[in-house]
C-alpha cells in the first residue's frame, strides 16, 4: 500500500495557484445546468445517466486554455467539480421524483409544485456533500493506495494531459453540435422516423431500433458487454415473453389488462402488451436486481462503515497544509442539523419527524457506502437504485406501521427515498471529485464549496426541467418512460396497498434470480427487460462500435486515443441531444412544435420516413467515425 506521506500531488501543497475564481465558478454553474438538464432527459428516456466529469473537464480546459490563453489546471478542476454535481443530482432526482407526477396524472394527488421538487433536490444534494466532508480523510487520504476511484483518476489524467497540451475540447463541442442537428431533424422537423421496427406475420414478436445519437452514445460509453446484457433482456421480453403471452392468452382477460389479450394486441401491437404486462415483469426483475446487488455488497458495506467511523476521529482537524484543509467540522455538523430540521419542518416537503430521522440515518449510511463503492468499482456500478429500493421498502413499511397510510404515506415514502437517492449520488460524485483534486493538489475546502455551488444551482434547474418535460410529454409516455421512477412507484404502491399483479412481478423476480445464478449482471439485464427493445437495440449498436474500436489492430497509444475521442464525442452527443430535447419540450408547452412538423405538412409516407431514419442513423455512425478513427492526429 502506498503511504499517504510518500504521495506528492502534481501541484505541491506549498504552491498557491488560482482555483475558486469567478471564471471557474461561472463555467461550473453553466456546465452544472447543461449536464444536469441533459442527463435528466437521458435518464427519463433510458433509465441510465452518464458521468459528466471528464467532458466538463475537457470543456473547461478548452475554454481556459484557448479562449483565455492560460493554463490553470486547478481552475479546470473546480469547473468539473461544480459541473459534475448537476449530472449526479439529476440522476438521484429522476430515479424517484417523477413518481409524484405519475400519481398526479392518475388523479390520486395534486401535482407537486416546483418548490417541493427544488427543496427535495437541494436538501438531498447538500446533505450528500456535507456527509462526505468528514469521510474525505478516511476514504481519499488514508486509503489512497487501496481505493483507486477510477473516474476520479481518469479525470485527473485528462486534466494533466490538457496541461501538457493534449486536450481537445473541440471533439466534445462537435458531438454537441451534430447531435443537436440530428435531434432537431428527427423530433423537431420530423423529417425521418425516430424509431424503425418490423415483425414477421403470424408472430407477435417485434424487433427494431431507435435512431437517436444520445441512445447510441450510451452504448458506446457503457461498452459492448453491458450493452449486450441490456439487449439480451430486450430480446427475452419482446421476442419470447410477448409472443408467449399473445399465443397462450388469446381471448383471456388478464389483470391488469381490462380487455382480452388478443384485443390489446390487435389494437396496440407488441407495444401494448409490453406496457400492460411486461413492464411489471421488468419491475420485478429490477427490484430483485437492486436488492441482490445490495446483498452482495453487504460485507463490504459493513466493513466500510466500521472503518470509516474509526478513521473519522482525525477528520476535520486543522492543518497548516493547503491540500488538507476541509470545511470546518463544526460548520458541517451545524449544517447537517439545520438541513435535517428543514426536511421535517418545511411544509412543502411531505416528511414527518420520523421521516427526517430515517433520512439522516440512512443518508449517512448510504453516503458512506456510495463513496466506498465508487472508489472500488466506479460510479457506473454504484448500486444507487438498490439503495433507493431498500430505503423505500423500509420507509414505506415503517410509515404504514406507524399509521401513515394512503397517498400521504406513499408521497412521504417517495420524498424520503428521493432525498436518500440524491444523497447517495452526490456523495459518490463528491468523492470522485475529491480524489481528482487529491491527485492534482487541489484545496479540498474549495472543491467542497464548488460542489455546494453546483448542487444549489442544479437543484433550482432540476425542478424547472422536470416540470417542463412533464408538461410537454408526461412521464410514463413513449417519449419519457421514466423507468426507474415507475419502478419506485410500483414498489411503494405494492407495499402500501398490496394491489400489484404479483404473478407478473414475481415472474420478473425469479428471472433475475436465474440470471444471477448463471453469472450475468442482473441490473443491466433487468433494465433491458423493462425498456423497449428498439431502445436496447440502439444502445447495442453503440456497444458494437466500441467493441470494434477496442479490437482494432493498432498501436496501444493510438487505439486508446481513438477510444477516448469516442467517449468525448459521445458525451457531447448526449449533452447536445438533451439540450435540444429540453428546447423541444419548451416549444411543445407553448404549442409551437406543430409549426415545425414537416412530416404532416409534406405528407411523407411512413416507408420513406423509415428509410430516411435508417440513412440518418448511418450518418450518425459516420460522424462518430469521422471524429475518432478518421481523425487527423499530430504525430
pTM above 0.85, yes or no: no
**Which among 191, 201, 430 is positioned nearest to 326, based on CA atoms?**
430
How many domains, the chain? Answer: 1
* Cβ(355)–Cβ(395) below 8 Å: yes
Residues 387-407, mean pLDDT to the nearest whole number: 84
pLDDT score at 260? 93
The domain in which residue 353 lies consists of 4-174+286-487
Q: Which stretches within 518-605 are classed as H helix?
A: 522-530, 533-550, 556-589, 593-596, 598-602
- Report the distance separating Cα 34 and Cα 51, nearest Å: 13
In a domain, 501, yes or no: no
Which secondary-structure segment (H or E) carries 368?
A: helix 353-377
Burial class of residue 293 in the structure, from the number of CB atoms within 10 Å of its CB (0-12 exposed, 13-18 middle, 19+ buried): buried
Q: Comparing C-alpha atoms, which of 217, 176, 196, 36 is closest to residue 577? A: 176
The continuous run of DSSP H or E covering 197 comes out as: strand 195-198
Tell whether 369 is covered by a domain: yes
Cell of 538: 440502439
Instruction: Please check the confidence at residue 438 and state whether its pLDDT lies above 90.
Output: yes
Q: 128 pLDDT band (50/70/90 cuts)? A: very high
Average pLDDT for residues 506-528, to the nearest whole number? 90
Q: What is the pLDDT of residue 3?
A: 47
CB 281 within 8 A of CB 236: no
- Output Rg (C-alpha) for the chain, integer angstroms: 24
pLDDT attached to residue 316: 47
The answer to the question of residue 233 being in a domain is: no
Helical H segments across 312-352, by residue range: 329-345
* pLDDT-based confidence at residue 310 (cuts at 50, 70, 90): low
Neighbours of 570 (CB within 10 A): 30
Measure Cα distances from 180 to 210, 479, 574, 575, 600 in Å. Answer: 16, 17, 9, 9, 22
Mean pLDDT of the region 188-204: 90
Exposure of 284 in the CB half-sphere (CA atoms within 13 A)? 19
The pLDDT mean for the chain works out to 86
Tell me the three state secondary structure of residue 209.
Answer: strand
Separation of alpha carbons 551 and 179, rounded Å: 26
- pLDDT, one tens digit per residue, over 490-502 is 889 888 887 778 8
Confirm whether 532 is domain-assigned: no
pLDDT digits (tens, 9 = 90+) for 542-557: 999 999 999 998 888 8
pLDDT of residue 200: 85
Inside any domain, residue 565:
no
Among residues 13, 122, 14, 133, which one has the least CA distance to residue 449?
Answer: 133
C-alpha cell at 155: 479525470
Confidence at 220, pLDDT banded by 50, 70, 90: very high
Question: Per the domain annotation, does 516 fall within a domain?
Answer: no
Q: Is the dihedral of CA 471, 476, 482, 487 positive or negative?
A: positive
Beta bridge partners of 195: 210
The more confidently predicted of residues 617 and 478 is 617
| Confidence band for 193, pLDDT divided at 50, 70 and 90 | very high
Does a structural domain hold residue 263? no
Tell me the average pLDDT across 106-131.
Answer: 93
Pick from 273, 170, 178, 271: nearest CA to 216: 178
Residue 615 has pLDDT above 90, yes or no: yes
Confidence of residue 577 (pLDDT cuts 50, 70, 90): confident
DSSP for 294-306, written as a single string:
HHHHHHHHHHHHH
Report, as an integer, the average pLDDT of 85-89.
90
pLDDT at 2: 46
| 459, part of any domain | yes
Measured CA to CA, the distance from residue 279 to residue 504 in angstroms comes to 9
Report residue 208: phi and psi, to 5°. 175, -165
pLDDT number for residue 134: 83
- Greatest mean pLDDT among 396-410, 474-488, 540-554: 540-554
pLDDT mean over 618-627: 96
Amino acid at each position: 500500500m502506498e503511504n499517504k506521506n510518500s504521495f506528492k500531488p502534481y501541484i505541491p501543497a506549498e504552491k498557491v495557484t488560482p482555483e475558486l475564481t469567478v471564471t471557474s465558478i461561472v463555467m461550473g454553474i453553466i456546465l452544472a445546468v447543461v449536464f444536469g438538464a441533459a442527463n435528466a432527459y437521458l435518464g427519463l428516456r433510458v433509465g441510465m445517466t452518464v458521468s459528466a466529469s471528464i467532458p466538463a473537464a475537457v470543456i473547461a480546459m478548452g475554454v481556459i486554455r484557448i479562449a483565455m490563453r492560460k493554463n490553470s489546471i486547478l481552475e479546470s478542476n473546480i469547473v468539473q467539480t461544480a459541473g459534475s454535481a448537476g449530472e449526479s443530482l439529476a440522476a438521484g432526482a429522476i430515479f424517484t421524483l417523477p413518481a409524484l407526477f405519475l400519481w398526479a396524472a392518475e388523479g390520486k394527488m395534486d401535482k407537486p409544485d416546483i418548490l417541493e421538487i427544488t427543496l427535495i433536490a437541494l436538501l438531498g444534494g447538500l446533505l450528500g456533500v456535507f456527509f462526505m466532508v468528514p469521510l474525505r480523510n478516511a476514504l481519499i487520504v488514508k486509503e489512497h493506495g487501496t481505493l483507486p476511484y477510477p473516474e476520479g483518476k481518469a479525470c485527473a489524467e485528462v486534466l494533466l494531459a490538457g496541461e501538457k497540451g493534449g486536450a481537445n475540447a473541440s471533439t466534445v463541442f462537435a458531438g454537441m453540435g451534430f447531435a443537436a442537428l440530428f435531434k432537431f431533424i428527427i423530433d423537431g422537423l420530423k423529417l425521418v422516423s425516430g424509431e424503425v421496427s418490423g415483425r414477421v406475420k403470424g408472430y407477435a414478436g417485434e424487433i427494431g431500433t431507435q435512431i437517436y445519437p444520445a441512445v447510441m452514445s450510451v452504448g458506446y460509453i457503457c461498452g459492448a458487454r453491458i450493452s449486450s446484457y441490456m439487449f439480451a433482456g430486450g430480446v427475452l421480453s419482446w421476442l419470447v415473453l410477448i409472443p408467449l403471452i399473445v399465443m397462450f392468452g388469446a381471448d383471456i382477460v388478464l389483470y391488469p389488462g381490462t380487455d382480452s389479450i388478443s384485443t390489446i394486441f390487435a389494437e396496440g401491437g407488441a407495444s401494448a402488451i409490453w406496457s400492460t404486462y411486461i413492464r411489471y415483469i421488468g419491475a420485478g426483475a429490477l427490484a430483485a436486481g437492486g436488492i441482490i446487488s445490495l446483498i452482495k455488497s453487504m460485507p463490504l458495506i459493513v466493513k466500510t462503515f466500521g472503518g470509516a467511523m474509526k478513521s473519522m476521529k482525525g477528520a476535520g482537524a486543522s492543518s497548516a497544509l493547503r491540500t488538507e484543509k476541509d470545511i470546518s467540522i463544526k460548520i458541517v455538523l451545524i449544517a447537517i442539523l439545520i438541513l435535517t430540521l428543514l426536511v421535517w419542518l418545511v411544509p412543502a416537503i411531505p416528511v414527518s419527524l420520523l421521516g427526517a430521522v430515517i433520512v439522516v440515518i440512512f443518508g449517512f449510511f448510504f453516503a458512506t457506502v456510495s463513496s466506498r463503492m465508487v472508489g472500488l468499482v466506479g460510479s457506473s456500478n454504484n448500486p444507487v437504485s438498490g439503495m433507493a429500493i431498500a430505503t423505500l421498502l423500509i420507509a414505506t413499511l415503517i410509515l404504514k406501521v406507524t399509521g401513515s397510510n394512503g397517498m400521504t404515506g406513499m408521497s412521504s415514502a417517495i420524498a424520503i427515498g428521493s432525498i436518500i437517492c440524491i444523497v447517495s449520488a452526490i456523495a459518490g460524485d463528491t468523492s470522485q471529485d475529491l480524489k481528482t483534486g487529491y491527485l492534482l493538489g487541489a484545496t479540498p475546502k474549495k472543491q467542497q464549496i464548488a460542489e455546494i455551488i453546483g448542487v444549489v444551482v442544479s437543484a433550482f434547474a432540476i425542478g424547472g426541467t422536470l416540470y417542463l418535460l412533464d408538461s410537454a410529454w408526461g412521464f410514463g409516455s413513449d417519449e419519457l418512460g421514466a423507468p426507474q421512477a415507475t419502478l419506485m412507484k410500483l414498489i411503494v404502491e405494492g407495499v402500501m396497498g398490496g394491489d400489484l399483479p404479483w404473478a407478473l412481478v414475481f415472474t420478473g423476480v425469479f428471472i433475475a434470480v436465474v440470471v444471477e445464478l448463471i453469472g450475468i449482471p442482473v441490473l443491466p439485464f433487468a433494465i433491458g427487460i423493462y425498456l423497449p427493445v428498439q431502445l436496447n437495440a440502439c444502445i447495442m449498436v453503440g456497444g458494437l462500435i466500441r467493441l470494434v474500436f477496442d479490437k482494432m489492430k493498432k498501436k496501444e497509444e493510438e487505439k486508446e486515443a481513438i477510444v477516448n475521442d469516442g467517449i468525448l464525442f459521445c458525451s457531447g452527443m448526449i449533452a447536445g441531444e438533451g439540450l435540444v430535447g429540453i428546447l423541444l419540450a419548451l416549444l411543445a408547452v407553448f404549442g409551437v412544435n406543430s409549426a415545425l412538423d414537416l412530416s404532416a405538412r409534406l405528407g411523407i409516407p411512413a416507408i420513406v420516413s423509415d428509410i430516411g431514419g435508417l440513412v440518418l442513423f448511418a450518418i450518425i455512425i459516420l460522424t462518430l467515425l469521422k471524429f475518432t478513427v478518421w481523425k487527423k492526429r499530430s504525430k
